[in-house]
Structure formats: C-alpha cells, structure tokens
C-alpha cells in the first residue's frame, strides 16, 4: 500500500479532490440503514446521521473516502478507531455497533448517535459551572481508567472529542490515534495528536509513551474548563487566570514533564477531585468558576452556532489529531425541497393585570453593560415578553454588549431591558411626548427620536439625558430618522414635498438641523450606499398639490451626499418600485419592499429575484451571510426566505401582534420584536394594558441549516471582489502568491502591446518599399488602424495576400502575449492553492462554509484565462459596490 499523503505537501487536483456519497447514494450502498443527512466532514471522512430500522434507533455512520482504503496508514487509523471503540463498552465511551466496507470500497463503522454538545462548545458558551466541571472530569477519568485497564490509550483527549449529552453525561469519542498498550510503553511513530493537549514525550523521536499521556491531556482539559484557556495560552496571556489551590495542585501534577511524576492512574484524579471541596480561601485572586449555576439549565439538544461549527458528533470525530486532507470540494447539502419551519407562539395566559402607569413615569438610573445573552437551546419560537410600554412600539434594538435591549414607544418612553431576566433596567422620558420615529446609533451610545408633538431629540443612553433637542413644526410628518454609518450625523426625512431631508451633527455642536438641497419630494426611506458614510440612496414620491390633475403620486429616487449637502443624481423612478430599501451586509444586493420583495444586483443594477407572498408594508433584513432574508411588517408573522430558491423556510407567528420592528443579535441566535395589536385586540384608545404592547423575545434556529447550499458560491463570488475588507487572511495569501508568481496587470499588458505594435508598424513601413498599389493601400490602412487603436478585423477577406500574411504573424504574436499572461495566472493560482491549503482545511474543519468557498472562488478567479481584450481593459475592482444602482439613471 502507498503511504498516506503529507497533508502539508502540494498535491495535484486529482490527489486532493474527492466526492463523498450523498445521503441517497449511501442509502443504496447500505440498505440496512436509513440515511438522513450528512452531519459533518473532516480529515478521516464524512459522518452521516442515519437510522437502524431493525432496532429503531438513530446512529452515526462514519465513512472513509474510497481512495483512503488504498493508503495503509490512513486505513489503519480508521480500523484502529473502530476496533478500539468496539472493544470498549462503557457508559462514558461512544459505542460502535457495526463495521465494514461498501461495494465501492468505502470503509465505514456505525456508532451511537450523541445528541447534545461537546466540552469545546460548552467552554465557549460559558455553560460550565464548577460542579459540572468536577462531574464531567470524574466521568472522563472513569472512561479513561476503563480504557487503560483494557489496554487502550486514547492519545487525543481534547474538549472537541468529549461529547456531552442533554443529561450532562460525557461520551469520549475519536479513537483514531488510540494504541494498544501491550503492557509497556511504545513509541508514537510521529503521531503527535493535538499539540496543546499532547504530553512532552510525544514530541521526542523514539521516546516511549503510554497511558500517562492521557493523564497529561486531562490536566490540560481541566485547566481549560476552569479558565477558558489552555495552560499554554494562559502562559502567553497578559493577565493570567487564577486557580483555586486544589485545582492548581491537581493540574500541575497532571502536567509534569516526567510521566513518572504524574498521576499514574485516571482513577486517582477522580478520587482526589471528588473528595476535596474548593472552599473559599483568603487570597488576592480567589478562584471563580466560569459562570454561576443557573436555577434550571438542562443542557440543550443540538447546539446552534451562528458562526457555523460542526454538530457535536461531527466535530468530535473529525477535527484535529489525524492526517487531515485539503478538501478541494466541500460536499454540498442535498437539494431536496425543505419544508418551512413554523415557529408558533405558545398559547399562554396573559400576564396578570398591573397598575396603570402614570402619565409621566419617572426616569430610572442608567444601566451598565451586561454579558452577552446566550439563549437556552430549544425549538424556534417565542420564549418570553418584556412588559412595560403602554402604547405601540416604534423602535427596538440590541445594544453592542448583546446583553441589553432598547425600545422606544409612542407612550413617550425609551426603555432598556435585560432580556435574560426579562426585566426593565432603565426608563428615559422624552421631552416631546409620544415617540413616532427612533433609531439607535451604530455604537449603541445614543438614540435619536422624533415625537408626535414635533420635537427631535438626541439622547445619551449611558447618561439617560438629552444631548440635543429641537422643536419642529408639529404639522410636519416625520417619515424616518437615520444615523450615518460612522454615527457622526443624524438624518431626518419627511413625507412633505417641501421638507425632504434635514441633517444634524450628533456630537452636539450643531444647534439646529440643516435642510439638504435637491429633495422637492417626500421621502419614504433612506439607506447609505455600501462602504460609504457620505452617500445615500432615497426613495419617495412627489405628492400632488391642490389643483394638480388627479392620479397616483410620482415616484422619485435620488442619491445624495452629506459632504455636498445636496442630491447629486436622480435615478429612474421605476427602478426601485417600493417604500423601503435595505442593502445586504456585503453590499451585493438591494432589497426593495412593498408589495413584493424585489432584489437587485448592486454590481450591474439587474433584477436578481422577486419574492412573492408578503403583503402590505414590510421591512427586510439579510441574514446568514446574506443567504437568507427576513421580511416583517404590519402582519403578525415574519417570514424568512432562501434567496437562492425564493422559498420561505421559516415563519415566526405572533398571534395578531404586528412585527413592525425586529432586531436580531450579532450571532443571529435570538431576536426581539415590537409593534402593536390590531384594534380588535388592542381595545379602545383609553385601554393602555401593557400586555398589548410587550416586546417579544424569539429563539431562532441554526440558520446555517435552513435553505439551500447553492447561494454560498454566489455570495463568496461577490465577497471575493473586496477581499481586503471582508477576508484579509485570504487577501494576504493572494498577495503573497502574486508576489511569488507575478501576473502582468493591464498596465504591463498595454506596455507590451505598445512594444509589439511599434515593431509591427516598423515592419509595415519596411514593406512599403516596392509594394504594389493594392498592398500599399492595405498597409497604410493598417497603420492608420494602429494609430487610433482600432480593433483588428475578425477576418481578412478585404485585404490582399501580403496583408493577410502580416496579420497572421501579428495574431500569433498577440496569442503569445495573451498566453504569457494566462500561464502566469494559472501558476499564481497554483501558488495560492498551496499557500491557502492549511487555511482551507481549518475552515472546513470549523464548518466555515462561506469562508472556505471564498478561498475556492479566489483561486478560480486568479486562474481564469482572459482574452487579450479583457486583460488590457479588465473591469476595475471598484470601491463602489453600488455602481449598478448608480447606473439606473433617468
């Protein structure tokens, strides 16, 4: 058998590219199992979720690539893992049920499916209390003692390989590096495992290693659970975490460089851990567990992660510690239609009546930042309400700490809430009564409000007081308030033709708002152009005045500039047929809403897609890397759309509560909404029951599991045009590859073309001597063509044989010029592939699908062969993603 390929060495595409079977294909290969879906992929293959009908149980099926069976070391590791896990029957070790090889040569084994999380994820989510850490460590020691007693050392103990069920039971997984102890220590043969968790003797060539390497890893894992970082990371940290002396003693003994000085048995760690109590000690830096134990916190079933990590079983079985291949092709999700998830509001008894608030509630003290709220896992849907407002909600937001919610209401108050405890933290009373419009500054320090009595206020949320306040004409109809992306300016828009837009500096230096020139029409909505804190897009209409002919309002679309203080261009009125606009996060798409949702490609202005279904006023928000779009408005349901298929994949239903305002947290795991009930449920105007005006908290599903996978390549293609800002890591690798293998740019290509044309022109001059009248006419016409840089004709039927031969030679030289450029591009792309291989591997392991796709798309773009015309005049990589929108002129 050949040796397993070196993962760090460059390979041809054939060596690193393979496709694993889809769920349907594997079902045909393993008919005794129902195959549901792929749940993870990594260096040792792919893991599928399946069901064993004969025993009516879910299973995880680990499948090695068919070519892997031909590599002895690779296949041996796979077989070792299966046999080691099958040999060890223990409640804290993942069980193996079956092993074999498919007809197509894939080695596979079938194991227990663990529904839960893993220690790595629990550390990141700060869900480990001191009691849980002690319990999990004791269970780990039980499992290792059992394995060691049966002659097996794991050799890759780390948090990602320690699964945790919903009952807080640990399951040790990934025995890919396990070794039979045979009663004595053995050398590691260069199988080092994961460096941070590997004992020192495993890095010494020829050194003997035994079960005490697992003891070392237990010490590292215990340290990481207690402090959030490995001992190596703690040593490098500026502020080193403090440990209680009991834990420090256990960990330091586990981490002794000499195996003989460590604990000799895992059971010894367990005994010491469970018999000691970490009572407080008088110390300048006493031990503090990562979090306080919640009153009731069962471990959730599978963990969501907006950042895209693997499901627990896949992460534990596949990342780190094994020979990982650079996966050239990341398997796509199955393209079967996905039924929308309906997240209904759970029927509940209305909150008990509370005393009616006073007309002017007293302001409360400012609230400080809170830890980011991590929502307990569970099904998507409503998970609570924030009760206090006594009139419709006009704005909601989540502050930058991700632990507080802010809201504004027509009851005249701004309130800050703790969503975790579902309580009000701070109340700020506006100076001008009911709040009609409001928006929060990008940094979360201010809120700008417009009241129904015609007053504009800028409020400092930390101080709970106004920075600026200015009375406006009460008859003015304010349509919106907007902060510039850098937070320096507040823009106010109005429905009336003569008012348009006013600007106000947010630092308090400008006493009164200033009207911007050029908008002689009412504004519906405003959005800053992608990447700009100066230019913005407006949509609205010119309302017909008294005496004007009857008819619908005339639509108006314009681009304005803060620095110019005016509208700089008018666009075609029918280009944006809606009342609300929203750019995607990467600036590649523009959503125009009402009555449908029209999506425009910002690069060329073309219509990308129209989403059917919503009715009435609604807004849009792009989610999950701009793959999905959430629409919400006066309806009692918010709809999540897959932008690739145009299908609805999720609905949040609120029982008649209009979802006019929705804010989503940074990790896209929870949301808060505010609006109003319809008049039938709200009751007569005097009825100010706060139950009618509550903010609703929503748990969102793992958005990465919704919709199709085909939109990611399109997203990565758009993002690859602005790599330095979106993905500087890939941009740096691209720059390094171009430094190693330069590719002629348009300036260099033009210089070479000019040199070639000069030689061609000189040859034509020489041929004029003694030329026939016909040839002289052809030659002089060719020289004139060169002078004005006119393109070479497609055929030579109009010229004589002499000029035909000249052009034949000239075309060959042009082809050589084009070939030199394209050869360099291909070689530069290969250099990039080599440099980006480890990064691609890491992103695949972390399930960063869009990030991995950006690497693949960047390589494709670098390798793309260009015609000479394209190379001489490439489309400029503009810092204006919205250039296509600008092109929609009247």
Q: Nearest-CA neighbor of 83 among 64, 103, 109, 101?
A: 109
CB 586 within 8 A of CB 719: yes
CATH of the domain at 203: 1.10.510.10
Task: Render pLDDT for 219-250 as a digit per residue (tens, 0 to 9).
Answer: 999 999 999 999 888 877 766 677 777 888 89
CB 223 within 8 A of CB 234: yes
Q: How far apart are the C-alpha atoms of 216 and 259, rounded to whole Å?
A: 8
Q: How many alpha carbons lie under 13 Å from residue 431 in its C-beta half-sphere? A: 16
Q: Nearest-CA neighbor of 629 among 536, 693, 715, 758?
A: 715
Q: Which of 264, 292, 318 is the last residue of a domain?
A: 318
Q: Which residues pair with 481 in a beta bridge?
A: 492
So what's the pLDDT on residue 133?
95
Q: Provide DSSP, 102-163.
A: -TTS-EEEEEEPP-EEEHHHHHHTT---HHHHHHHHHHHHHHHHHHHHTTEE-----GGGEE
Residue 827 CA from chain centroid, whole number: 31
So what's the pLDDT on residue 505?
92
Q: Is residue 523 part of a domain?
A: no
Domain boundaries, position 238: 13-318
Q: Which of 288, 318, 348 is the last residue of a domain?
A: 318
Most distant pair of Cα atoms in the chain: their distance: 110
Strand order in the sheet with 489-494: 478-483, 489-494, 501-505, 514-515
Q: Is residue 174 part of a domain?
A: yes
Q: How far apart are the C-alpha atoms of 819 and 601, rounded to whole Å?
A: 33
H-run or E-run covering 739: helix 728-740
So what's the pLDDT on residue 499?
78
Q: Is residue 664 part of a domain?
A: no
Residue among 142, 156, 586, 624 flagged as catalytic? 156
Q: Is residue 873 part of a domain?
A: yes
* Tokens coding 165: 């069920």
Q: Nearest-CA neighbor of 446 among 486, 387, 480, 392?
A: 486
Rg (the chain; Cα; Å): 33
Residue 449 CA from chain centroid, whole number: 31
**DSSP 8-state class, residue 70:** G
Q: Is residue 532 part of a domain?
A: no
Q: Is residue 751 part of a domain?
A: yes
**Can you list the residues of the chain whose pLDDT is less than 50?**
1-17, 69-70, 182-192, 278-360, 678-687, 876-879
Q: Which of 277, 293, 318 is the last residue of a domain?
A: 318
* Tokens coding 66: 């068919």
Residue with token string 């896209």: 668
Number of structural domains found in the chain: 2
Q: How far apart are the C-alpha atoms of 277 and 254, rounded to whole Å?
A: 19
So what's the pLDDT on residue 660?
83
Q: How far apart are the C-alpha atoms of 487 and 292, rounded to whole Å?
A: 36
Q: How far apart are the C-alpha atoms of 786 and 779, rounded to whole Å?
A: 11
Is 689 assigned a catalytic role?
no
So what's the pLDDT on residue 289?
36
So what's the pLDDT on residue 222?
96
* Tokens coding 135: 């319990």
Report the 10 Å Cβ neighbour count for 593: 25
Q: Is residue 624 part of a domain?
A: no
Q: How far apart are the C-alpha atoms of 694 and 661, rounded to whole Å?
A: 12
- The predicted model scores a pTM of 0.49
Q: Is residue 377 part of a domain?
A: no
So what's the pLDDT on residue 282?
34
């Amino acid at each position: 058998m050949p040796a397993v390929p070196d993962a760090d060495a460059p390979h041809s595409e054939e060596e690193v590219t393979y496709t694993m079977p889809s769920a349907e294909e594997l079902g045909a290969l393993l008919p005794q199992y129902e195959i549901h879906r792929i749940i993870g992929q990594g260096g040792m293959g792919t893991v599928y979720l399946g069901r064993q009908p004969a025993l009516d149980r879910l299973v995880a099926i680990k499948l090695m690539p068919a070519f892997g069976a031909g590599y002895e070391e690779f296949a041996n590791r796979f077989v070792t893992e299966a046999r080691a896990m099958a040999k060890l029957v223990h409640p804290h070790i993942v069980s193996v049920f079956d092993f074999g090889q498919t007809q197509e040569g894939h080695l596979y084994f079938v194991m227990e499916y663990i529904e839960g999380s893993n220690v790595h994820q629990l550390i990141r989510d700060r869900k480990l209390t001191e009691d849980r850490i002690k319990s999990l460590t004791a269970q780990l020691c039980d499992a290792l003692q059992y394995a060691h007693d049966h002659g097996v050392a794991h050799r890759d103990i780390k948090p990602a390989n320690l699964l945790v069920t919903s009952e807080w039971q640990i399951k040790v997984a990934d025995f890919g590096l396990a070794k039979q102890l045979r009663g004595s220590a053995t050398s590691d043969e260069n199988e080092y495992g994961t460096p941070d968790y590997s004992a020192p003797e495993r890095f010494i060539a020829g050194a003997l290693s035994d079960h005490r390497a697992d003891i070392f890893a237990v010490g590292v894992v215990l340290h990481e659970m207690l402090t959030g970082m490995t001992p190596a990371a703690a040593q490098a940290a500026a502020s080193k975490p403090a440990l209680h002396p009991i834990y420090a003693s256990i960990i330091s003994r586990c981490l002794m460089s000499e195996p003989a000085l460590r604990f000799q048995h895992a059971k010894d760690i367990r005994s010491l851990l469970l018999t000691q109590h970490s009572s407080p000690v008088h110390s300048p830096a006493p031990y503090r567990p990562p979090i306080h134990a919640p009153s009731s916190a069962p471990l959730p079933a599978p963990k969501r992660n907006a950042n895209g990590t693997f499901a627990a079983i896949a992460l534990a079985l596949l990342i780190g510690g094994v020979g990982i291949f650079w996966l050239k092709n990341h398997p796509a999700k199955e393209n079967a239609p996905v039924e929308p998830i309906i997240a209904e509001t759970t029927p509940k008894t209305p909150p008990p009546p509370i005393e009616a608030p006073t007309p002017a509630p007293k302001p409360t003290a400012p609230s400080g930042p809170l830890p980011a709220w991590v929502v307990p896992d569970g099904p998507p849907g409503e998970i609570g309400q924030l009760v206090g407002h006594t009139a419709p909600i006009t704005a909601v937001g989540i502050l930058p700490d991700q632990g507080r919610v802010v809201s504004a209401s027509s009851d005249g108050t701004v309130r800050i809430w703790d969503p975790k405890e579902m309580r009000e933290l701070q109340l700020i009373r506006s100076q001008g009564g009911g709040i009609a419009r409001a928006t929060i500054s990008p940094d979360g320090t201010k809120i700008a409000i417009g009241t129904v009595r015609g007053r504009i206020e800028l409020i400092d949320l930390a101080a709970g007081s106004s920075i600026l306040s200015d009375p406006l004409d009460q008859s003015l109809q304010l349509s919106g308030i907007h902060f510039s992306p850098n937070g320096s300016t507040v823009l106010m828009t109005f429905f009336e033709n003569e008012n348009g837009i006013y600007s106000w500096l947010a630092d308090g230096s400008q006493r009164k708002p200033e009207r911007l020139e050029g908008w002689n029409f009412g504004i519906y909505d405003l959005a800053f152009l992608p990447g700009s804190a100066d230019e913005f897009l407006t949509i609205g209409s010119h309302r017909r005045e008294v005496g004007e002919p009857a008819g619908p309002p005339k639509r108006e679309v314009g681009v304005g500039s803060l620095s110019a203080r005016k509208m700089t261009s008018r666009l075609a009125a029918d280009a944006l047929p809606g009342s609300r606009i929203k750019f995607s996060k990467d600036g590649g798409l523009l959503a125009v809403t009402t009555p449908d949702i029209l999506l425009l490609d910002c690069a060329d202005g073309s219509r990308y897609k129209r989403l059917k279904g919503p009715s009435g006023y609604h807004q849009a928000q792009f989610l999950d890397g701009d793959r999905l779009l959430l629409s919400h408005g006066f309806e009692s349901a918010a709809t999540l759309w897959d932008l690739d298929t145009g299908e609805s994949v999720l609905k949040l239903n609120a029982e008649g509560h209009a979802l006019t305002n929705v804010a989503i947290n940074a990790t896209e795991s929870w949301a808060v909404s505010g609006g109003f009930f319809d008049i039938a449920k709200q009751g007569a105007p005097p009825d100010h029951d706060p139950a009618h005006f509550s903010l609703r908290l929503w748990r969102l599903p793992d958005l990465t599991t919704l919709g199709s996978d085909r939109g990611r390549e399109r997203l990565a293609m758009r993002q690859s045009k602005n790599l330095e800002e979106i993905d500087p890591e890939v941009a740096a690798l691209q720059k390094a590859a171009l430094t190693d293998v330069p590719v002629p740019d348009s300036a260099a290509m033009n210089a070479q073309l000019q040199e070639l044309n000069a030689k061609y022109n000189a040859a034509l001059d020489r041929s004029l001597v003694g030329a026939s009248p016909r040839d002289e006419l052809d030659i002089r016409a060719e020289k004139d063509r060169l002078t004005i840089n006119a393109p070479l004709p497609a055929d030579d039927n109009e010229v004589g044989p002499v000029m035909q031969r000249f052009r034949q030679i000239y075309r060959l030289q042009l082809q050589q010029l084009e070939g030199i450029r394209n050869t360099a591009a291909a070689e530069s792309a290969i250099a990039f592939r080599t440099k980006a291989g480890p990064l691609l591997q890491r992103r695949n392991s972390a399930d960063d699908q869009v990030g991995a796709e950006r690497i693949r798309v960047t390589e494709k773009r670098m390798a793309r062969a260009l015609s000479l015309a394209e190379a001489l005049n490439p489309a400029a990589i503009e810092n204006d993603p919205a250039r296509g929108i600008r092109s929609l002129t009247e």
